[in-house]
Amino acid sequence: MYELKFDKDVCASCETIDCLVRCQYLKLSREDAARERQKLNNGEESLVLQECATCYACEEYCDKGNHPFYQIVELQEQAGIWPAPRPIVHQQIKMFSPKGDFEPQNVEGVPFNLCLFPALKNNIKGKLFEDVSIMMGRDLFCNLVYLHFAKSSVIKERVPEVIANYAKCNIKELVCFHDECYALYASWAPAYGIEVPFRPVHLFEYLIDKLKENRTSLRNLGMKIAYQRPCSTRLTPQKEPLLDELFELIGVDRVPREYDRETPLCCGAILRMQGRDDLADDLNKRNLEDMKSSGATVCVFNCPGCYATMGQMVAEKGLMPLLISDLCRIAIGENL
């Protein structure tokens, strides 16, 4: 079984303990964080394992690249901790299990991964996507969602076959619509020493290239937008400057607000699965009020899960909910 590349000595020598101090959910003092960090390093029981909101933020806050969140998930599973009720976890694992009858796909054009979001086919059209070859299904499912359920073992069991299925299609690159898919290949797999025989391409990089190809059709949208940064983006924060470049290309203003950049609030979907509705309600309320008070008129989503969870809430606040792919289509003059 694949082992996490986690160095306890790196954690022990860390002076800031930002992975826990900066957590917006645990609210630990630096002294308490140091104590709980040591417990985790020793494999001992820690309140972190019980109270973690699985927002992935500690991965971003660790400047050592030492994967504190992946370690937390490993320890949760070893301790038999279930962040969500067992029936929900078992249902998810069974529902999205691989079919096991994968036939290599004849890929023409750009391999474009939609994971398990068939509804997104309605958004992947027009000039920006005319040369893509959509790849999706349970045998190509990234499985990284099981980090939320303390089930690293499921990911380790399934991911090598997922990667092998893509390799059978002889692809050199794979554009990932969903942040979590990209994070699997750019962060999680390397952290476990799993080779990825193709280059993962984030949706932001793909869209920037296509917008530049269609520069003559590009128009300045002049919108003030609030960006709903999803939890999965915390696993690969190095690509965030691409988003700012993309917004600059299409002339939108990513309004400064409290819950963006390195301090975003998640959509609350996983918290509701975990039975933490009060916390999810509080997050949604603060997040939506922050969007509205910032002067934004549009809320832009990258994650389909966030869009499904918060789209209606955003609309009720008077903001237009848009997937970033649709925002870019509008920028080249296409109707949705």
Instruction: Give 22's Cβ-side CA count (13 Å radius).
Output: 18
Domain limits for position 253: 207-331
The pLDDT score that the predictor gives to residue 142 is: 96
Whole-structure pTM value:
0.95
Whether residue 326 sits in one domain with residue 211: yes
Whether residue 228 sits in one domain with residue 165: no
The pLDDT score that the predictor gives to residue 12 is: 85
Domains in the chain: how many in total? 3
pLDDT band at 15 (very low <50, low <70, confident <90, very high): confident
**Residue 225, H or E segment:** strand 224-228
For residue 70, give every residue at least 6 positions away whose Cβ sits within 8 Å of its Cβ, in sequence order, or none: 4, 6, 59, 147, 152, 188, 191
Whether residue 72 sits in one domain with residue 148: no
β 253-254/298-301 pair status: unpaired
279-328 confidence digits (pLDDT tens): 999 999 999 999 999 999 999 999 999 999 999 999 999 999 999 999 99
Q: Is residue 84 part of a domain?
A: no
Mean pLDDT of 44-66: 94
141 φ/ψ angles, rounded to the nearest 5 degrees: -70, 130
The pLDDT score that the predictor gives to residue 1 is: 74
CA nearest neighbour of 233 among 186, 189, 272, 269: 186
Whether residue 327 sits in one domain with residue 235: yes
Whether residue 305 sits in one domain with residue 220: yes
CATH of the domain at 311: 3.40.50.1860
Whether residue 166 sits in one domain with residue 58: no
- The span from the CA of 290 to the CA of 269, in Å, is 19
84 φ/ψ angles, rounded to the nearest 5 degrees: -120, 160
CA nearest neighbour of 142 among 100, 176, 190: 176
State the first-to-last Cα distance of the chain, in angstroms, to the nearest integer. 46
- The span from the CA of 82 to the CA of 275, in Å, is 12
Mean pLDDT of 90-113: 93
Angle at 206 between CA 201 and CA 212, to 5 degrees: 150
Whether residue 232 sits in one domain with residue 127: no
